[in-house]
Structure 1
Amino acid sequence: MNKQQIDILINEINSFDTIIIFRHVRPDPDALGSQIGLQHAIKKMHPNKSVYVVGTTIDNLKFIGEMDQLTDDKFKGALAIVLDTANAPRIDDERYSLCDKVIKIDHHPPVDQYGTLNIVDTDASSTSEMIYEILTSAGYGMDYIDALVARCLFIGIVGDTGRFLFSNTSPRTMEISASLLAYDIDHTAMINKMQERDAKGMQFQGFVLQNFKLEDGVGHIFITKEILQQFDISASDASLFVNAFADAKDMSAWAFAVDEDKEIRVRLRSKGPVINELAAKYNGGGHPLASGASVYSVAELKKLLIDLKKIVNE
């Protein structure tokens, strides 16, 4: 990020009466935290503007905030700000294209610069961290970051750093998190809520731990539609268990594949080998150590696993 980009962003926010904030499909805490945190901050800056957040509602993350339900006419003449979304096909509401202007703010490698303004910082732990930096760099920190904004940005940072355990946790990340904790937020309750699982989820986690395979340094499991039905769990809820076997000894990377009807969504994680190029090869992308891919048959999933083993054992 640079000051010139931030100034342009603030000028655009000042210029539009309607601002609609988007994020990616299958949102995580960072996508939702940055989205709702920015919404509240802009509303504080401009109480008379219409500021909306859109996307599919995820039940287990409702505690972060609720989405707005908009008719198509609301998008015309609006400014679209898309957060935490590396490539346009993953934006969770195709009506961003109806807006007058699109701005992208993201911390993933910039493979698809779809915005008229693209603010990308791959050194940031999360998009929530970026939103904090944008607000404070623009001089809005003290006035427009309140407890409501702070709780959203904090949970976003916690989510994308794996509770500060992942390698993307920098000294700056910790400084920002400490600053957010100075507000009146119950961070323990939020983290507990984020980690909370119902009985079905815990039983599903037991299945994952009993049935994942570890071969040549690669862990993997394929959750079929039959398994989802057996545990009465949705594909999106199943994906929350991507790190269920992350602590397995002698495992350098892993793949958590879920049958989502039209595609098999594969979440890739690594303890060292770079995997985002592999994800890009299979219709996806992401960070060097945390990416997502899509395949369309069991045979293609097997090819992906073979390629992942090659990367781990090079």
Structure 2
Amino acid sequence: MKAKIIETIENYHKIIIHRHVRPDPDALGSQGGLAYLIKEHYPKKEVYVVGDEEPSLEFIIKMDEISDETFTDALIIICDTANVERISDERYTKGKSIIKIDHHPNEDQYGDLIWVDTNASSVSEMIFELFEEWHSQKGMEMTVHAARCLFAGIVGDTGRFRYPNTTERTFRFVSELVKQPFSPIELYEPMERKSLNDARLQGYILNHFDFLEPGVGAINLTQTLLKEYNVSPSDASRLVNTFANVEGLKAWVCFVEEPDQLIRVRLRSKGPIINGLAQKFNGGGHPLAAGASVHSWDEAQDVLDQLQEICRNA
């Protein structure tokens, strides 16, 4: 599959790379890392990255603004996006061919070429693996811009190498990336930076989250609360691990209310499998980290009840 992806990329003049809405470091890191590898080794190709901007992560890579016409006859590559509903920039349908590169379970098998590896820590790790194939076939060399993006993506999805998805392969790839002349420390600082409002909301979460039997944590972040602290839903969602290290915690959920009354469900676990629960509520994800969405606080309570049941049976 890696060889097929490389061959397809080489056969297209125009390449547009997408990822999921409300991007995290891996979405942007894999998108940007792949874009830089192609741009810097095939300078005659047109390569674009598109999607909604996330101001707090613009230090990784900024998006291109392109016209609808640019999509004509373009190869579309979609990184880190399990289902079509979450693809950022719906114009991907205007392209000629689609490649899906992802590490989430492959429930939505969209695309003409599909490369899914659920054992990978991140899609950024997969892009490095693709680079190794490229290096073997064509002598491609890693570049500083690509390495910086891929490093940020791997760090983001492994929680700075603390999550169970971190493997020997992860460390081997990262050891190659850091040979490039960029500063990991200069990436860590903006990745972990919090506004004063975020910090104060984090304090609220620590004081008000519920600890329920059997080892389930939960917090409701309503629109009223977010307005009081002047924190956006996307910024609030990134606080999901605020109480992750509390002793006795097995799994936890953060409910974040959007302005349109949709409630985002952020699920995390230290062992019990939770992505099946997310799939029941318009979502999905990894066994220990998943997301969903509900349309009422009654539905949110249903998610919480089922999460408790999962932890009882784990």
TM-score, length of structure 1 as denominator length: 0.97
Conserved? CA contact 1:136–1:142, under 8 Å: no
Give the alignment partner of residue 31 of structure 1, picking from 27, 47, 51.
Answer: 27
The CA deviation string for residues 51-93 of structure 1, in whole angstroms up to 9 with x for no partner, is 0001111111010010011111111111100000011110011
Conserved? CA contact 1:219–1:255, under 8 Å: yes
Q: Distance in 2 between the 1:53 and 1:91 partners?
A: 13
The CA deviation string for residues 135-162 of structure 1, in whole angstroms up to 9 with x for no partner, is 1112269634111111100010000000
CA RMSD for the aligned pairs? 1.1
Which residue in the other structure is 2:190 paired with? 193
More off after superposition, 278-287 vs 134-143: 134-143
Which residue in the other structure is 2:147 paired with? 150
Q: How does 1:132-147 map to 2 (within 5 A)?
A: 132-139=128-135, 143-147=140-144
- Letter of the 1:174 counterpart: F
Give the alignment partner of residue 229 of structure 1, picking from 198, 203, 227.
Answer: 227
Conserved? CA contact 1:218–1:312, under 8 Å: yes
Conserved? CA contact 1:242–1:256, under 8 Å: yes
Q: How does 1:91-130 map to 2 (within 5 A)?
A: 91-130=87-126
Give the alignment partner of residue 12 of structure 1, picking from 8, 13, 31.
Answer: 8
Q: Does 1:258 align with 2:223?
A: no
Which residue in the other structure is 1:66 paired with? 62
More off after superposition, 222-231 vs 138-147: 138-147
Which residue in the other structure is 2:312 paired with? 313
- Letter of the 2:235 counterpart: D
- Letter of the 2:279 counterpart: A
Which residue in the other structure is 1:181 paired with? 178
Q: Distance in 2 between the 1:227 and 1:178 partners?
A: 43
The CA deviation string for residues 222-274 of structure 1, in whole angstroms up to 9 with x for no partner, is 11111111111111111111111101111100001101133101010000000
Which residue in the other structure is 2:18 paired with? 22
Q: Distance in 2 between the 1:222 and 1:146 partners?
A: 43
Q: Distance in 1 between the 2:176 and 2:45 partners?
A: 28
SS at match of 1:82: strand
Q: Does 1:169 align with 2:166?
A: yes
Which residue in the other structure is 2:81 paired with? 85
Report how far residue 186 of structure 1 moved.
0.5
Number of aligned residue pairs: 310
Change in Cα spacing, 1:142 to 1:244, as seen in structure 2 (3 Å) is farther
Q: Distance in 1 between the 2:142 and 2:206 partners?
A: 41
Conserved? CA contact 1:44–1:144, under 8 Å: no
Report how far residue 183 of structure 1 moved.
1.1
Q: Distance in 2 between the 1:286 and 1:71 partners?
A: 32
Identical amino acids, percent of aligned pairs: 47
- Letter of the 1:188 counterpart: I
Which residue in the other structure is 2:281 paired with? 282
Which residue in the other structure is 2:300 paired with? 301
Report how far residue 45 of structure 1 moved.
2.0
- Letter of the 1:76 counterpart: T
Unpaired runs of 5+ residues, structure 1, are none
Unpaired runs of 5+ residues, structure 2, are none
- Letter of the 2:237 counterpart: S
- Letter of the 2:143 counterpart: D
Which residue in the other structure is 1:219 paired with? 217
Q: Distance in 2 between the 1:187 and 1:32 partners?
A: 16
Q: Does 1:44 align with 2:40?
A: yes
Conserved? CA contact 2:3–2:133, under 8 Å: no
Which residue in the other structure is 1:75 paired with? 71
List structure 1 runs of 4+ shifted beyond 6 angstroms.
none
Q: Distance in 1 between the 2:89 and 2:205 partners?
A: 32
Q: Distance in 1 between the 2:300 and 2:139 partners?
A: 49
Q: Distance in 2 between the 1:75 and 1:12 partners?
A: 16
Report how far residue 122 of structure 1 moved.
0.7
SS at match of 1:293: strand
